[in-house]
Amino acid sequence: MTVTTTPCTRPLPKPFETSSINFGAEISGLDIENLSDNDFELLRVALYKHNVLVIKNQHRLSPRAQCELTRRFDPDADVYSHGKTIDKRSVLHKDLTTIPHQPQVQVIGHGQIESYEGLTNLKLKHPHHRVFHKHPVPEADDFHKTHFYRWHIDSAMYDLDPPLVTSLLAIRVPTGRRQLCTYDDGTGDEMEVPLGTTAFFSGYQMYDLLSEKDKEFARTSQVEYAAHPYIWMANARSRSNGLGLYCDGLELADDQLPPVEPHKIKRYPMVWKNPVTGQLAMMVYPTPARRIHLQDGSVIDDLAEVRQTLYRMQRPAISPQFIYPHDWEEGDLVLFNNHGVMHSIVGAFADHEVRLFRQCNMAASRPPLGPD
Ligand SMILES: [Fe+2]
């Protein structure tokens, strides 16, 4: 006999009184490891309606079950979003450790872990904005102040298409400390965040905040991404608010990259459609963006102009009132619509603060849905 459950959703807590976040929900009442097709459909619809779902108390979820749940959103997907191996020159190389028996699942975190899921003597390092930002928070303020590391879509942006859905499971979380995340971009914006939060903004909100003229530009333009982007950007430095790179001519030239196969270069619409609600999201990953292709066939090729154009369009949506910084508790499983929200790692841990997470996503079986 099939037992039909009724999942219950409730909005995520507002990070502060005047916050305007309009996405995210906590969902309960589903047996995540034994979802019937009907229950899964309820979960899928809830995900695309709320775009970030938090499911509490999933301590016991195995890496295999996490992978199977994540794959259910795209049954033809199989390979981890960044492929089977990550080039040593890639900026991602040091951030990800693959679980040997479940290669679509990565261990991420901070500190020393003796053994976990077949991995031993793990020395994890939470990416610190110091290694990527042009103007990091001074060492003396590092305990209290931090930056958004890099606003991104989980994706290789070359050869492989962005996963539909990412799952993140918190195994160990150091608690009790908060940090001040400063934008340092001339606006004075800042927000208090839980230590090691994952911060999200909505691409739907980003699109809605555009002027009518920019909405049309976004709906009719496409963004071409750099080949081997995480190697290409290895020497470049980020803005302090994590939204793209400075133009200092530090990107690697083609002859410094692995061989480029032109058919693997990705070009996506600026606007992606939600498959359930039909809403439009501005989904542009600014860091690896290389060119903008306009409707009339012309191309913005100048990197500084590409970055300035995107920054002007995207910056309003990362203001504090539009950010949801998740306050992780052990056992939290977060599923997010990787074609509708963007996210950033935040924060800096002390040496003794141990954080252990599992991340799972797979390169999508199809490119993102454009606006038409
Ligand atoms: Fe990510």
Question: For the segment 76-116, what is each residue's pLDDT rounded down to a tens digit?
Answer: 998 888 887 777 777 776 677 899 899 899 999 999 999 99
The residues near 369 (Cβ < 8 Å, ≥ 6 apart) are: 272, 273, 275, 339
For 296-303, the CB contacts below 8 A with 24+ separation are 303/247, 303/251
Cα–Cα distance for residue pair 165/337, rounded to 1 Å? 5
| Half-sphere CA count of 52, side-chain side, radius 13 A | 24
For tokens 């252990």, the residue is 356
For residues 47 and 73, the answer to whether their CB atoms sit within 8 Å is yes
Percent of the chain residues topping a pLDDT of 90: 86
For residues 342 and 152, the answer to whether their CB atoms sit within 8 Å is yes
- Distance, CA 276 to ligand 1 centroid (Å)? 23
- The whole-number pLDDT of residue 372 equals 86
- Distance, CA 117 to ligand 1 centroid (Å)? 21
- Distance, CA 154 to ligand 1 centroid (Å)? 5
Summarize pLDDT for 23-48 with one digit per residue, the tens: 999 999 999 989 999 999 999 999 99
The residues near 182 (Cβ < 8 Å, ≥ 6 apart) are: 137, 145, 146, 147, 189, 190, 240
- Distance, CA 270 to ligand 1 centroid (Å)? 19
For residues 249 and 303, the answer to whether their CB atoms sit within 8 Å is no
Percent of the chain residues topping a pLDDT of 70: 98
Cα torsion through 152, 338, 22, 193, rounded to 10? -40
For residues 86 and 93, the answer to whether their CB atoms sit within 8 Å is yes
Nearest CA among 286, 253, 255, 256 for reference residue 268? 286
Domain annotation for the chain: domains and CATH numbers: 8-360 (3.60.130.10)
- The whole-number pLDDT of residue 130 equals 93
For residues 169 and 61, the answer to whether their CB atoms sit within 8 Å is yes
- Distance, CA 342 to ligand 1 centroid (Å)? 8
More confident residue, 122 or 344: 344
- The whole-number pLDDT of residue 4 equals 56
- The whole-number pLDDT of residue 3 equals 55
Question: Residue 367: is its pLDDT beyond 90?
Answer: yes
CA distance to 191, 250, 363, per residue, from 239 (Å)? 17, 14, 27
For tokens 């950033």, the residue is 344
Summarize pLDDT for 235-265 with one digit per residue, the tens: 999 999 999 999 999 999 999 999 999 999 9
User: Which three-class secondary structure state does DSSP give residue 198?
Assistant: strand
- Distance, CA 344 to ligand 1 centroid (Å)? 7
- Distance, CA 152 to ligand 1 centroid (Å)? 6
SS (H, E, C) 227-256: CCHHHHCCCCCECCCCCCECCCCCCCCHHH
- Distance, CA 343 to ligand 1 centroid (Å)? 6
Q: Which amino acid, residue 86? A: I
DSSP conformation class of 136: P
- Distance, CA 198 to ligand 1 centroid (Å)? 9
- The whole-number pLDDT of residue 78 equals 87
Q: Which amino acid, residue 351? A: D
- Distance, CA 292 to ligand 1 centroid (Å)? 24
Range 124-135 average pLDDT: 93
Alpha helices, H only, the chain: 37-50, 63-71, 203-208, 212-220, 229-232, 303-314
What DSSP element (H or E) covers 111?
strand 102-116
